């Protein structure tokens, strides 16, 4: 069968989610075209000749972008079967069906795509089977130099990306992983991960991003991989995402992350308000975050915190407190500006809708937004959110530094309180970061 696999946005990474199913399908003799539309053109000729066109939908932005390409695919080839796979596929099944999608796959998608290409009837499935993976086939994807780079004091590094696990054992209310995996997580075998890394290093990568929702869901598996990575490629750096809860629980492993060339650790802090953290069921407290920041500072590790800045519980004073805390913890340069402007996204089937506070402000699901729109009880907070996003968007496009953008955001809510006089001095050390400005 002639199959086209398409991606629209994957955080500036070369998609594992195209390379992995491409390898599975090609191993069964299928003719596979892959195209990441974030960096390459829509493959019209291959679409017109395809029998199956499958879109990977890992997140909100990717799904919204995919809708127009689904319409284009139907126009170019009305007889092709359309499929959507990934976290946001089952969350938006009704909308996707209205755009001509016949098959929807959540969870572990490789075998399900093989079955579909092999003649299985169109359906909506969320398989969570433990798969035996094979090395991804990245041979026909755009080169790594077309994707986001790692910014370091010594210049830009070419970035590769892989996955060691999928899903998550935790049930945070706001997370899109939860409705699909329901507390399960699955591993990609270490040999496959290392083979994938090797192929990307040979293609020029000097940094690897692990796309796992939480790298320490399986800490022994995780450390086996990064220790082997460091032995084989000691000059290659990497970054991972780990919950605050896990960073404290497995603090004994943090020196090993540092010693194996971990450039930074992303952690979804989300809020510094304990009541909000409890409602989100994050599993950590404000004090835990502050303790974690101190551990990282003492170890010389870079912590890259992420936040859901504007929620139904945000106030002008709580926003100022967040900025003040980041400055006190010396995390201004480690925090991507977009993290100071993100607004809570309420997806279909979100556990947030279990909360009375959320139900009171949320409006009915709007398919064109892929979300339940909501308004803050205090209109001035919504205005603050709009102003913050405008500043971040405008200043990032102008090339402003993180510290300069932070200072502009501070003026929105300072109410006369001044930043320390030495705030405008250059940071003591340059912080490595990926130059992809968006997040979700």
Strands (E) located in 319-372: none
| pLDDT number for residue 371 | 92
Q: What does the pLDDT look like over 229-263, one tens digit per residue?
A: 999 999 999 999 999 999 999 999 999 999 999 99
Q: What does the pLDDT look like over 39-88, one tens digit per residue?
A: 999 999 999 999 999 999 999 999 999 999 999 999 999 999 999 999 99
Please report the DSSP string for 63-100 in residue order: HHHHHHHHHHHHHH-TTSEEEEESTHHHHTHHHHHHTT
For residue 423, pLDDT over 90 is answered with no
| pLDDT number for residue 367 | 84
Model pTM score: 0.95
For residue 325, pLDDT over 90 is answered with yes
Per cent of the chain over pLDDT 70 is: 98
Q: How far apart are the C-alpha atoms of 116 and 200, rounded to whole Å?
A: 29
For residue 428, pLDDT over 60 is answered with no
What's the half-sphere exposure (Cβ side, CA atoms, 13 Å) at 69?
A: 27
Average confidence (pLDDT) over 401-410: 93
How deeply is 422 buried, as exposed, middle or buried, from its count of CB atoms within 10 A (0-12, 13-18, 19+)? exposed
Q: What does the pLDDT look like over 14-44, one tens digit per residue?
A: 999 999 999 999 999 999 999 999 999 999 9
Q: What does the pLDDT look like over 352-376, one tens digit per residue?
A: 999 999 999 999 999 888 999 999 9
pLDDT band at 348, cuts 50/70/90?
A: confident
In the predicted model, what is the mean pLDDT of the chain? Answer: 95
For residue 424, pLDDT over 70 is answered with no
Average confidence (pLDDT) over 149-159: 95
How far, in Å, are 81, 265, 288, 361, 439 from residue 308 at the CA level? 37, 18, 17, 17, 11
| pLDDT number for residue 327 | 94
Per cent of the chain over pLDDT 90 is: 90
Q: How far apart are the C-alpha atoms of 336 and 333, rounded to whole Å?
A: 8
Residue 133: CB partners within 8 Å, gap ≥ 6?
20, 110, 188, 189, 192
pLDDT band at 419, cuts 50/70/90?
A: confident
Average confidence (pLDDT) over 204-227: 97
């Amino acid at each position: 069968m002639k199959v086209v696999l398409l991606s629209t946005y994957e955080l500036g990474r070369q998609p594992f989610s195209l390379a992995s199913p491409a390898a599975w399908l090609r191993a069964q003799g299928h003719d596979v075209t892959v195209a990441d539309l974030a960096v390459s053109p829509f493959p019209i000729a291959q679409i017109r000749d395809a029998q199956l066109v499958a879109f990977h939908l890992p997140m909100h932005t990717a799904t919204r972008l995919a809708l127009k390409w689904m319409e284009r695919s139907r126009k170019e080839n009305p007889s092709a079967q359309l499929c959507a796979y990934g976290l946001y596929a089952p969350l938006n099944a009704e909308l996707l069906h209205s755009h001509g999608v016949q098959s929807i796959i959540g969870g572990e998608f490789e075998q399900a795509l093989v079955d579909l290409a092999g003649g299985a009837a169109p359906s909506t499935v969320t398989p969570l089977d433990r798969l035996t993976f094979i090395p991804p086939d990245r041979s026909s994807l755009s080169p790594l130099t077309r994707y986001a780079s790692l910014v370091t004091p010594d210049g830009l590094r070419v970035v590769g990306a892989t996955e060691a696990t999928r899903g998550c054992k935790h049930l945070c209310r706001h997370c899109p992983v939860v409705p699909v995996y329901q507390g399960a997580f699955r591993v990609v075998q270490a040999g496959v991960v290392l083979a994938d890394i090797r192929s990307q290093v040979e293609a020029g990568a000097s940094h690897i991003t692990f796309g796992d929702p939480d790298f320490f869901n399986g800490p022994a598996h995780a450390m086996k991989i990064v220790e082997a990575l460091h032995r084989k490629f000691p000059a290659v750096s990497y970054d991972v995402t780990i919950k605050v809860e896990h960073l404290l629980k497995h603090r004994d492993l943090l020196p090993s992350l540092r010693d194996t060339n971990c450039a930074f650790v992303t952690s979804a802090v989300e809020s510094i308000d304990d009541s909000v953290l409890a409602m989100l069921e994050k599993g950590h407290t404000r004090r835990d975050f502050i303790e974690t920041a101190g551990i990282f500072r003492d170890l010389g590790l870079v912590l890259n915190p992420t936040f859901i800045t504007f929620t139904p519980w945000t106030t002008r004073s709580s926003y100022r407190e967040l900025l003040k805390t980041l400055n006190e913890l010396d995390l201004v340069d480690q925090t991507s500006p977009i993290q100071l402007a993100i607004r809570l996204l309420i997806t279909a089937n979100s556990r947030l809708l279990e909360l009375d506070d959320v139900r009171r402000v949320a409006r009915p699901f709007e398919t064109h937004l892929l979300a339940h729109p909501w308004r803050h009880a205090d209109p001035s907070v919504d205005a603050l959110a709009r102003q913050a996003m405008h500043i971040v968007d405008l200043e990032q496009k102008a090339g402003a530094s993180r510290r300069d953008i932070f200072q502009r955001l501070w003026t929105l809510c300072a109410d006369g309180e001044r930043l320390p006089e030495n705030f405008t001095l250059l940071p003591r050390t340059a912080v490595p970061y990926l130059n992809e400005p968006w997040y979700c």
